[in-house]
Amino acid sequence: MQNQDLVRISQEYGSPLYVYDAQIMGQQYTRLTRAFNAVPHLRINYAVKALSNLSVLKWMHQLGAGLDTVSIQEVQLGLAAGVAPNEIIYTPNGVSLSEIEEVAQLGVQINIDNLDILEQFGTAHPNVPVCIRINPHIMAGGNANISVGHIDSKFGISIHQMPHLLRIVENTDMRINGVHMHTGSDILDIDVFLHAAEILFDTARQFTNLEFLDFGSGFKVPYKPSDNETNIEELGEKLSARFNDFCKDYGKELVLAFEPGKFLVSQAGYFLTSVNSVKQTTSTVFAQVNSGFNHLIRPMLYGAKHRIENISNPGGRERFYSVVGYICETDTFANNRKIAEISDGDVLCFHNAGAYCFTMASNYNSRFRPAEVLWHDGEAKLIRKAESFNDLIQNQVVLDFKEKALA
C-alpha cells in the first residue's frame, strides 16, 4: 500500500479509521512457516486477541492458521468465521470452571493453567483431552507489563509444582495431550527462548501420550525502519533441530505449535486520523487529532511508540510535534516527535496498528469506535462499519422517573 492509497481510503471511509493489509499478513505467515520447514508437523494458531475481526479470522484460516483463543467469545468468533473446533485452542486465565466446560462441549482444545481448575475438570471429565500451561519462570521481553513467564505471573502452573500436577493427573486418570508455555512479548534473545524451550521439553517427558508442544509466541516486530526484531530464521533453525531431536528421544513425532498475534498483524495495520487543529503553547506545538486513547491506548498504557507519518504532506519540512487526542484526559500519542509539517485537515498515519489497537478500543467520552477496512487484492473493502449514536445506546435501558412534588 502507498500513501496515496491510504489518503484515498480515508477520504472514502472517513477518519479515524483502521486499515489492514492482507498481503503483509500473508507474508508474515509465510515467513514463519518457512523458518520452521524442517519440522514435519507445524501448527500456527493465530492469537485472536490481537485483532478479532471476523474477516481477518477468515483470512488467517485461509492462509492455513488455526486460532488461539482466551475467552468463550473468541471461540464463538472463530466458529462464526468458519474455523473447525479442532483447529482452535482455548487458553483462558482466571475464568470459571463452567466456562471451560462450556467450551469443551464445543470440541475445542482446552488448555488449563490452574491446579485447582485442573483437578476439578479432570475429576468431572477425565476423558476430555487437556493441554497444561506451565510457567517456566523465564523473564522474556523488555516490558514487565507484557512479560508473563516470570515467577510472580498470574499465568501458568509453576514448574516447581510439577509433583502436585502429576499427582492430580494420576488421581483423576485424565488425559494430557499437550504442554504449553508463553513467556511474554517482544522477545529478542534467542537463547532465552531456547532455554525456556528446554524447560518445556523437561516437562513434556513427564507425559507419555502427548500430541503437541505449544511454544507460545511473543516475537518482536520492528516499529521503525532501524528497529530490532526477533530473528525468526535463526530461531527456526535452532529450535527445529532441537525439537526434532526431542521427538526422536520421545519416540513419537509431535506437532510444534505457535500462537503469534502481533507478529502476523502488527505491521499490516495503519490507523488514520485527521488533524483538527495545530496548537502552539509557550513550549510545545500540539497536533490535535480526531481520536484519542479510546481508539489507540497502547502509547498511554504500555509506552508503545508507533511511528507517525503525515501522509498528506510526506515530503514536507520536518518539525517537532506532540501528537495528542480529543479525549478529556491526557492522551498523548507522541511527545516532541519529528514529523513532516502538519496543517489542519492533514491525515496522520500511525504504523504498526494491526495488533492490540482496535481490540482495546472503547467508547470513553461517548465517542464512537471507528470503521475497519481490509486491503485485499488491491481493493479496500469495508469489514466493520463505524459506530453510530444508535450503537452507543442500543443496549441501554432508560428508566421512566415519575416527578415528585416538591416539599
- For the annotated catalytic residues, the residue numbers are 328
Do residues 78 and 90 touch, judged by C-beta distance below 8 A? Answer: no
What counts of helices (H) and strands (E) characterise the chain? 12, 18
Grid cell in block for residue 133: 500451561
DSSP state of 219: B
Handedness of CA 173, 178, 181, 185 (dihedral sign): negative
- AA letter at 40: P
Do residues 230 and 187 touch, judged by C-beta distance below 8 A? Answer: yes
Q: Could you tell me whether strands 130-135 and 157-158 are parallel, antiparallel, or unpaired per DSSP bridges?
A: parallel
Question: Quick one: which of 82, 78, 136 has its CA closest to 109?
Answer: 78
Question: Quick one: which of 80, 46, 62, 17 has its CA closest to 373?
Answer: 17
In the block, which residue shows the cell 501528537? Answer: 323
Do residues 124 and 91 touch, judged by C-beta distance below 8 A? Answer: no
Grid cell in block for residue 356: 492490540
Do residues 345 and 273 touch, judged by C-beta distance below 8 A? Answer: no
Do residues 286 and 324 touch, judged by C-beta distance below 8 A? Answer: yes
Q: What do you get for the CA distance between the two ends of the chain, in Å?
A: 68
Do residues 206 and 162 touch, judged by C-beta distance below 8 A? Answer: yes
Do residues 287 and 324 touch, judged by C-beta distance below 8 A? Answer: yes
Quote the CA–CA distance of 168 and 172 in Å, as a whole number.
Answer: 6
Q: CA gyration radius for the chain?
A: 23
Quote the CA–CA distance of 287 and 23 in Å, as a whole number.
Answer: 31
DSSP H helices, 294-362, are 298-302
